[in-house]
Chains A and B, each alone.
Chain A
Amino acid sequence: MKFGILVNEGPYQHQASDSAYQFARAALEKGHEVTRVFFYHDGVYNGTSYSVPPLDDRQVTKQWSELAKEHDVDLVLCVAACQRRGMMDDGEAERHGKGANNVAEGFRISGLGQLIETGIQSDRLVTFGD
Protein backbone atom coordinates (compact mmCIF):
# COMPACT_ATOMS: atom_id res chain seq x y z
CA MET A 1 0.00 0.00 0.00
CA LYS A 2 1.14 3.55 -0.71
CA PHE A 3 1.14 5.74 2.37
CA GLY A 4 1.43 9.51 2.53
CA ILE A 5 2.12 11.05 5.93
CA LEU A 6 1.27 14.50 7.28
CA VAL A 7 3.10 15.76 10.40
CA ASN A 8 1.51 18.81 12.01
CA GLU A 9 3.53 19.26 15.20
CA GLY A 10 7.07 20.27 16.05
CA PRO A 11 9.63 17.86 17.53
CA TYR A 12 10.06 17.30 21.29
CA GLN A 13 7.07 19.47 22.27
CA HIS A 14 4.77 16.81 20.89
CA GLN A 15 4.99 13.10 20.16
CA ALA A 16 3.40 13.40 16.69
CA SER A 17 6.69 13.40 14.82
CA ASP A 18 7.97 10.39 16.79
CA SER A 19 4.77 8.46 16.10
CA ALA A 20 4.88 9.37 12.43
CA TYR A 21 8.48 8.25 12.21
CA GLN A 22 7.73 4.94 13.91
CA PHE A 23 4.71 4.44 11.68
CA ALA A 24 6.80 5.11 8.57
CA ARG A 25 9.50 2.67 9.72
CA ALA A 26 6.93 -0.02 10.51
CA ALA A 27 5.13 0.44 7.20
CA LEU A 28 8.38 0.21 5.24
CA GLU A 29 9.46 -2.88 7.16
CA LYS A 30 6.16 -4.52 6.23
CA GLY A 31 6.90 -3.87 2.57
CA HIS A 32 4.62 -0.88 2.10
CA GLU A 33 5.63 2.27 0.33
CA VAL A 34 5.92 5.65 2.02
CA THR A 35 5.91 8.11 -0.82
CA ARG A 36 6.15 11.37 1.02
CA VAL A 37 6.12 12.90 4.47
CA PHE A 38 4.70 16.42 4.44
CA PHE A 39 5.50 18.69 7.37
CA TYR A 40 3.03 21.48 8.12
CA HIS A 41 2.32 23.96 10.93
CA ASP A 42 5.12 23.69 13.55
CA GLY A 43 5.90 20.33 11.93
CA VAL A 44 8.38 22.15 9.69
CA TYR A 45 10.72 22.45 12.69
CA ASN A 46 11.37 18.71 12.35
CA GLY A 47 13.56 19.67 9.40
CA THR A 48 15.93 22.09 11.10
CA SER A 49 19.62 21.32 10.88
CA TYR A 50 20.22 23.59 13.89
CA SER A 51 18.69 21.20 16.42
CA VAL A 52 21.25 19.85 18.91
CA PRO A 53 19.28 17.76 21.44
CA PRO A 54 21.03 16.06 24.37
CA LEU A 55 22.89 12.96 23.24
CA ASP A 56 20.85 10.65 25.46
CA ASP A 57 17.63 11.80 23.78
CA ARG A 58 16.30 10.69 20.41
CA GLN A 59 17.63 12.68 17.46
CA VAL A 60 14.38 13.53 15.70
CA THR A 61 15.72 15.41 12.68
CA LYS A 62 18.59 12.98 12.18
CA GLN A 63 16.20 10.02 12.28
CA TRP A 64 14.11 11.52 9.49
CA SER A 65 17.23 12.32 7.42
CA GLU A 66 18.42 8.74 7.77
CA LEU A 67 15.01 7.37 6.84
CA ALA A 68 14.96 9.53 3.73
CA LYS A 69 18.39 8.29 2.74
CA GLU A 70 17.69 4.61 3.37
CA HIS A 71 14.27 4.41 1.74
CA ASP A 72 14.20 7.35 -0.64
CA VAL A 73 11.32 8.97 1.25
CA ASP A 74 10.50 12.49 0.08
CA LEU A 75 10.51 14.82 3.13
CA VAL A 76 8.74 18.07 2.27
CA LEU A 77 8.51 21.18 4.43
CA CYS A 78 5.66 23.55 3.60
CA VAL A 79 7.09 26.79 2.26
CA ALA A 80 4.40 29.04 3.75
CA ALA A 81 4.80 27.43 7.17
CA CYS A 82 8.61 27.72 6.84
CA GLN A 83 8.46 31.40 5.99
CA ARG A 84 6.49 32.15 9.15
CA ARG A 85 8.86 30.11 11.29
CA GLY A 86 12.30 30.91 9.94
CA MET A 87 13.11 27.75 8.02
CA MET A 88 15.17 28.54 4.91
CA ASP A 89 16.90 26.65 2.15
CA ASP A 90 19.49 28.45 0.00
CA GLY A 91 16.88 29.78 -2.42
CA GLU A 92 14.58 31.05 0.30
CA ALA A 93 17.45 32.62 2.27
CA GLU A 94 18.60 34.49 -0.81
CA ARG A 95 15.06 35.56 -1.77
CA HIS A 96 14.40 37.00 1.68
CA GLY A 97 17.88 38.36 2.37
CA LYS A 98 18.54 35.97 5.24
CA GLY A 99 21.91 34.53 6.09
CA ALA A 100 21.70 30.81 6.21
CA ASN A 101 20.28 27.53 5.07
CA ASN A 102 18.90 25.59 8.03
CA VAL A 103 17.18 22.74 6.23
CA ALA A 104 18.60 19.36 7.24
CA GLU A 105 19.75 16.69 4.82
CA GLY A 106 16.96 14.81 3.09
CA PHE A 107 14.38 17.57 3.55
CA ARG A 108 13.27 20.04 0.92
CA ILE A 109 10.98 23.07 0.97
CA SER A 110 8.02 23.10 -1.38
CA GLY A 111 4.41 24.17 -1.65
CA LEU A 112 1.14 22.95 -0.19
CA GLY A 113 0.32 21.49 -3.58
CA GLN A 114 2.66 18.64 -2.64
CA LEU A 115 0.31 17.75 0.21
CA ILE A 116 -2.74 17.65 -2.05
CA GLU A 117 -0.78 15.63 -4.60
CA THR A 118 0.15 13.14 -1.88
CA GLY A 119 -3.54 12.81 -0.99
CA ILE A 120 -4.38 12.11 -4.60
CA GLN A 121 -1.58 9.65 -5.25
CA SER A 122 -1.50 7.69 -1.97
CA ASP A 123 -3.83 4.90 -0.97
CA ARG A 124 -3.94 6.37 2.53
CA LEU A 125 -2.94 9.76 3.89
CA VAL A 126 -2.24 9.49 7.61
CA THR A 127 -2.17 12.62 9.78
CA PHE A 128 -0.11 12.94 12.97
CA GLY A 129 -0.92 15.86 15.28
CA ASP A 130 -3.49 17.30 17.62
Chain B
Amino acid sequence: MGDMNEGGSTKKFLYLNRKAPYGTVYALESLEVVLIAAAFEQDVSLAFIDDGVYQIIQGQDTTGIGMKNFSPTFNALGDYDINKLYVEKESLDERGLTEDDLMPLVYEDEDDDWAEKPSIRVVSRAEMADLMQDQDVILSF
Protein backbone atom coordinates (compact mmCIF):
# COMPACT_ATOMS: atom_id res chain seq x y z
CA MET B 1 0.00 0.00 0.00
CA GLY B 2 3.07 2.22 0.12
CA ASP B 3 2.39 4.04 -3.12
CA MET B 4 -1.15 4.90 -1.99
CA ASN B 5 0.25 6.94 0.85
CA GLU B 6 2.21 9.32 -1.32
CA GLY B 7 4.79 11.30 0.57
CA GLY B 8 4.27 9.23 3.69
CA SER B 9 2.26 11.96 5.36
CA THR B 10 0.13 11.17 8.37
CA LYS B 11 -3.13 12.95 8.90
CA LYS B 12 -5.66 12.90 11.68
CA PHE B 13 -8.80 11.14 10.46
CA LEU B 14 -12.00 11.24 12.48
CA TYR B 15 -14.86 8.90 11.61
CA LEU B 16 -17.99 10.53 12.94
CA ASN B 17 -20.83 8.08 13.53
CA ARG B 18 -24.19 9.79 13.91
CA LYS B 19 -26.75 7.15 12.98
CA ALA B 20 -28.31 4.10 14.60
CA PRO B 21 -26.69 0.78 13.62
CA TYR B 22 -29.77 -0.56 11.84
CA GLY B 23 -32.47 1.13 9.80
CA THR B 24 -29.96 2.47 7.28
CA VAL B 25 -26.68 1.12 5.98
CA TYR B 26 -24.55 4.12 6.99
CA ALA B 27 -23.18 2.62 10.22
CA LEU B 28 -22.17 -0.70 8.67
CA GLU B 29 -20.52 0.90 5.65
CA SER B 30 -18.77 3.43 7.90
CA LEU B 31 -17.20 0.58 9.82
CA GLU B 32 -16.03 -0.90 6.53
CA VAL B 33 -14.21 2.36 5.75
CA VAL B 34 -12.60 2.36 9.18
CA LEU B 35 -11.26 -1.17 8.68
CA ILE B 36 -9.76 -0.19 5.32
CA ALA B 37 -8.35 3.01 6.81
CA ALA B 38 -6.42 0.97 9.35
CA ALA B 39 -4.11 -0.20 6.57
CA PHE B 40 -3.05 3.35 5.74
CA GLU B 41 -1.22 4.07 8.99
CA GLN B 42 -3.04 7.30 9.63
CA ASP B 43 -3.99 8.69 13.02
CA VAL B 44 -7.53 7.32 13.30
CA SER B 45 -10.22 8.23 15.84
CA LEU B 46 -13.89 7.35 15.95
CA ALA B 47 -16.59 9.51 17.44
CA PHE B 48 -20.14 8.53 18.34
CA ILE B 49 -22.79 11.21 18.67
CA ASP B 50 -26.59 11.40 18.38
CA ASP B 51 -28.12 7.98 17.57
CA GLY B 52 -24.59 6.85 16.64
CA VAL B 53 -24.07 5.91 20.31
CA TYR B 54 -26.45 2.97 19.76
CA GLN B 55 -23.82 1.40 17.47
CA ILE B 56 -21.69 0.38 20.44
CA ILE B 57 -24.27 -0.56 23.08
CA GLN B 58 -23.99 -4.01 24.63
CA GLY B 59 -26.25 -6.94 23.95
CA GLN B 60 -27.37 -6.12 20.43
CA ASP B 61 -29.67 -8.81 19.04
CA THR B 62 -30.84 -8.49 15.44
CA THR B 63 -32.55 -11.85 15.05
CA GLY B 64 -35.95 -10.19 14.87
CA ILE B 65 -35.08 -7.92 11.92
CA GLY B 66 -33.10 -10.26 9.67
CA MET B 67 -30.03 -8.00 9.67
CA LYS B 68 -26.48 -9.06 10.45
CA ASN B 69 -25.39 -7.98 13.94
CA PHE B 70 -22.08 -6.34 13.10
CA SER B 71 -21.38 -4.96 16.58
CA PRO B 72 -18.80 -7.71 17.40
CA THR B 73 -16.59 -6.15 14.71
CA PHE B 74 -15.97 -3.19 17.03
CA ASN B 75 -14.10 -5.61 19.32
CA ALA B 76 -11.53 -6.10 16.57
CA LEU B 77 -10.62 -2.43 16.22
CA GLY B 78 -8.03 -2.63 19.01
CA ASP B 79 -6.11 -5.22 16.96
CA TYR B 80 -5.99 -2.69 14.12
CA ASP B 81 -4.43 -0.06 16.40
CA ILE B 82 -7.70 1.86 16.43
CA ASN B 83 -8.15 2.63 20.09
CA LYS B 84 -9.56 6.14 20.31
CA LEU B 85 -13.34 5.88 20.42
CA TYR B 86 -14.93 9.07 21.70
CA VAL B 87 -18.54 8.98 22.87
CA GLU B 88 -20.46 12.17 23.54
CA LYS B 89 -21.89 12.24 27.05
CA GLU B 90 -24.85 14.45 26.15
CA SER B 91 -25.90 11.99 23.42
CA LEU B 92 -25.86 9.18 25.99
CA ASP B 93 -27.78 11.30 28.52
CA GLU B 94 -30.43 12.30 26.01
CA ARG B 95 -31.11 8.61 25.32
CA GLY B 96 -31.13 7.46 28.94
CA LEU B 97 -27.84 5.61 28.46
CA THR B 98 -24.66 5.52 30.53
CA GLU B 99 -21.14 4.30 29.86
CA ASP B 100 -22.14 0.97 31.48
CA ASP B 101 -24.53 0.35 28.58
CA LEU B 102 -21.64 0.40 26.11
CA MET B 103 -19.55 -2.55 25.00
CA PRO B 104 -16.35 -2.84 27.06
CA LEU B 105 -14.05 -2.20 24.09
CA VAL B 106 -10.35 -2.51 24.89
CA TYR B 107 -6.93 -2.54 23.26
CA GLU B 108 -3.51 -3.81 24.29
CA ASP B 109 -1.02 -1.00 24.87
CA GLU B 110 2.27 -2.06 23.31
CA ASP B 111 4.06 0.77 25.14
CA ASP B 112 2.87 -0.52 28.49
CA ASP B 113 3.69 -4.25 28.37
CA TRP B 114 0.53 -4.96 26.37
CA ALA B 115 -1.70 -3.93 29.25
CA GLU B 116 -5.38 -4.05 28.35
CA LYS B 117 -6.88 -0.56 28.36
CA PRO B 118 -10.30 0.84 27.53
CA SER B 119 -10.72 2.27 24.02
CA ILE B 120 -13.84 4.23 24.86
CA ARG B 121 -13.59 7.73 26.23
CA VAL B 122 -16.76 9.56 27.15
CA VAL B 123 -16.37 13.27 26.44
CA SER B 124 -18.58 16.32 26.74
CA ARG B 125 -20.10 18.07 23.74
CA ALA B 126 -17.61 20.91 24.17
CA GLU B 127 -14.71 18.46 24.22
CA MET B 128 -16.13 16.79 21.12
CA ALA B 129 -16.10 20.15 19.34
CA ASP B 130 -12.42 20.62 20.28
CA LEU B 131 -11.65 17.11 19.05
CA MET B 132 -13.24 17.87 15.68
CA GLN B 133 -11.38 21.16 15.45
CA ASP B 134 -8.14 19.23 15.87
CA GLN B 135 -8.68 16.90 12.86
CA ASP B 136 -7.38 17.06 9.30
CA VAL B 137 -10.13 14.93 7.78
CA ILE B 138 -13.60 14.21 9.16
CA LEU B 139 -15.72 11.55 7.52
CA SER B 140 -19.26 11.82 8.77
CA PHE B 141 -21.62 8.89 8.37
Alpha-carbon distance between A68 and B109 when the two chains are bound, in angstroms: 46
- Measured between beta carbons, the chain B residues less than 8 angstroms from A112 are 32-33, 36-37
A sample of 20 cross-chain residue pairs with beta-carbon separation below 8 angstroms, ordered by A number, consists of A6-B139, A8-B141, A40-B29, A41-B26, A81-B29, A112-B32, A112-B36, A112-B37, A116-B33, A117-B4, A117-B6, A119-B139, A120-B6, A120-B9, A120-B137, A125-B137, A125-B138, A125-B139, A127-B138, A127-B140
Binding site for B on A (CB under 8 A): 6, 8, 40-41, 80-81, 111-113, 115-117, 119-121, 125, 127, 130
Asked if B65 CB lies within 8 Å of chain A CBs, one says no
Which of A41, A116, A117, A125 is in CB contact (< 8 Å) with B29? A41
- Measured between beta carbons, the chain B residues less than 8 angstroms from A130 are 26
| B140 x A116 contact (CB < 8 A) | no
Alpha-carbon distance between A73 and B9 when the two chains are bound, in angstroms: 23
| Minimum Cβ distance to chain B for residue A3 (Å) | 12
- Measured between beta carbons, the chain A residues less than 8 angstroms from B9 are 120
- Measured between beta carbons, the chain B residues less than 8 angstroms from A41 are 25-26, 29
- Measured between beta carbons, the chain A residues less than 8 angstroms from B4 are 113, 116-117
- Measured between beta carbons, the chain A residues less than 8 angstroms from B139 are 6, 115, 119, 125, 127
| A120 x B32 contact (CB < 8 A) | no
Provide the main secondary structure of the chain A interface.
helix
Alpha-carbon distance between A119 and B26 when the two chains are bound, in angstroms: 19
| B29 x A121 contact (CB < 8 A) | no
| B33 x A120 contact (CB < 8 A) | no
Alpha-carbon distance between A107 and B120 when the two chains are bound, in angstroms: 39
| B137 x A119 contact (CB < 8 A) | yes
| B5 x A117 contact (CB < 8 A) | yes
Alpha-carbon distance between A6 and B140 when the two chains are bound, in angstroms: 10
Alpha-carbon distance between A40 and B15 when the two chains are bound, in angstroms: 15
| B42 x A120 contact (CB < 8 A) | yes
| A120 x B5 contact (CB < 8 A) | yes
Alpha-carbon distance between A65 and B29 when the two chains are bound, in angstroms: 25
| Minimum Cβ distance to chain B for residue A6 (Å) | 7
- Measured CB to CB, the nearest residue on chain A to B38 is A116
| A121 x B40 contact (CB < 8 A) | no
